Structure 1
Amino acid sequence: MGALMLKEIRSFLNSITGYLVIVVYLLINSFLLWMFPGVFNILEGSYASIDSLFLVSPWVFMFLIPAITMRMFADEKKAGTMELLLTRPVTDMQIVLSKFSAGFILVLFSILPTLIYYVSVYQLGNPVGNIDNGGAFGSYIGLLFLGASYVSIGVFASSLTENQIVAFLIGVFLCLFMYIGFEQMSELNLFGNADLFILSMGISEHYTSMSRGVLDSRDMLYFISLIVFFSLATRLVIQSRKW
């Protein structure tokens, strides 16, 4: 499993696409948070905070993470190496987890440089250090859970097709639907007393809670359940090739 994970990471970092994804994520955040005037600009804020990072990242990740995961299974199918992969002495779930772990580590590589934003705001505070450290820490935890959820969705999308572009589009659609789809459905007033339950099925409700720095076990359980669900769904798709 570890060898498969390292193979995925090396394959990603050996291509220009890998670095482009990380650079694009950092550039978009840097422009919106530091250069472009508007509600996300940190320097125009009235207090020292990097909340803008956690407002922008879900939307940027919605496109960049499917770009990371789109080739993971689709490429194997197109190259005809999927059958060879399935003959290795590893279980289908281990294959899925190796792909997921590789994707999550790459997302982590993208997030780590944003700690520069935190250090910068920490130093710019008046007085120095006038920032909600607990809130920032909790928000980063929420961002990691969000990234992991998007990775599991992207890996599932990649398992459905051998076309990387199709896998990317499916991944973007599913991430978008899981993020705000249930929230939009709950506002239609079609489900009566079940509106709150429908709302709680979406990522946005739980991510927003964690972005406030509140680490509620219910939110963490939701993200873990979502990751497990899409990982099991991916395994089911892989197993269907044997039927």
Structure 2
Amino acid sequence: MLTILQKEFNSFLNSPVAYVVLSVFLIATGLFVWVFPDSSVLDYGYADLQTLFSLAPWIFLFLIPAITMRTFAEEKKAGTIELLLTRPLTDGQIIGGKYLACFLLALVALVPTLLYYFSVYKLGSPEGNVDSAATVGSYLGLALLAAVFAAIGVLASALTRDQIIAFLVAVVGCFLVYSGFDSLASVLDGSPAYYVSQLGIAAHYRDLSKGLVDSRDLVYFFSVVAVALQATRLVLRSRNW
């Protein structure tokens, strides 16, 4: 699996995709956090990064599918998928290596945003007047969100040989899991609304953004990742049916 991980990650770094993804993410978040007056921290008057943590999931909704769309679709289109699958590697190792490479690239995109936190920390009055617990929880939430989106993206790529179709399927899938259940819950009342909202990512992400790291939220994210990767494994196994 480590061999696949290294190969995939290096291929990202040797292609313009990784640099385009990182640049778009950092430019978009930088403009909204520091430049645009309606969302700028400098005009907001409070030392927090709510703008970043509200905006990042929607950017990830498009950027992570752009990363994952090539994982299996490119192999199928190039005709190298059978060669890959006949190597002395299990389906789980192949999927795990490709998935982790995509996930790591998403995490790399988050690392430079730590400068935003240190800047806000310094700008606080008094210095350090920022909710660090909520910030840590929000970063954890973004990392877990990226993990889920990457798993859905890898599944979408395994379903087709066309990268554009893989991208579109992944975007729709990520949107439904992130916001679809919240939208459905908004038309319901009482307990049904609560339970439906808990099926989506947004509710669990909001909890983590408050600095409340609940084991139920962690189990939810890991479960969605596991289901998506297992579905990918079933798709690859279907070649023998």
AA aligned to 2:130 is I
CA distance in 1, matches of 2:230, 2:221: 14
Q: How many Å apart are 1:80 and its aligned residue?
A: 0.5
Match of 2:134 in 1: 135
Q: How many Å apart are 1:193 and its aligned residue?
A: 4.5
Partner SS, residue 57 of structure 1? helix
Match of 2:36 in 1: 36
Where in structure 2 are there 5+ consecutive unaligned residues? Answer: none
Partner SS, residue 240 of structure 2? coil
Check if 1:50 corresponds to 2:49.
yes
Check if 1:108 corresponds to 2:112.
no
Deviates more, 1:27-36 or 1:46-55: 46-55
Aligned residues: 241
Match of 2:161 in 1: 162
Partner SS, residue 126 of structure 1? coil
Match of 1:93 in 2: 92
Q: How many Å apart are 1:192 and its aligned residue?
A: 7.4
Match of 1:229 in 2: 227
**Seq. identity, %:** 48
CA distance in 1, matches of 2:72, 2:2: 17
Match of 2:16 in 1: 16
Seen in structure 2, the aligned counterparts of structure 1 residues 130 and 8 have a Cα distance that, compared at 3 Å, is: same
Match of 2:75 in 1: 76
Q: TM-score, normalised by structure 2?
A: 0.97
Q: Deviation per CA, 1:135-180, whole angstroms, max 9, x where unpaired?
A: 1111111110001010001000100000000000000000111111
Match of 1:196 in 2: 194
AA aligned to 1:20 is V
Cα-Cα RMSD: 1.2
AA aligned to 1:99 is K
CA distance in 2, matches of 1:41, 1:143: 20
Seen in structure 2, the aligned counterparts of structure 1 residues 192 and 213 have a Cα distance that, compared at 3 Å, is: closer
Q: Deviation per CA, 1:18-65, whole angstroms, max 9, x where unpaired?
A: 101001000000001100111x21111222111211100000000000
CA distance in 2, matches of 1:145, 1:80: 33
Q: Deviation per CA, 1:77-121, whole angstroms, max 9, x where unpaired?
A: 000010011111111111111111001110011000000000100
CA distance in 1, matches of 2:191, 2:10: 49
CA distance in 1, matches of 2:47, 2:195: 35
Match of 1:238 in 2: 236
Q: How many Å apart are 1:196 and its aligned residue?
A: 2.0
CA distance in 1, matches of 2:210, 2:52: 12
Partner SS, residue 77 of structure 1? helix
CA distance in 1, matches of 2:194, 2:117: 34
Partner SS, residue 89 of structure 1? coil
Q: TM-score, normalised by structure 1?
A: 0.96
CA distance in 2, matches of 1:186, 1:56: 21
CA distance in 2, matches of 1:214, 1:185: 25
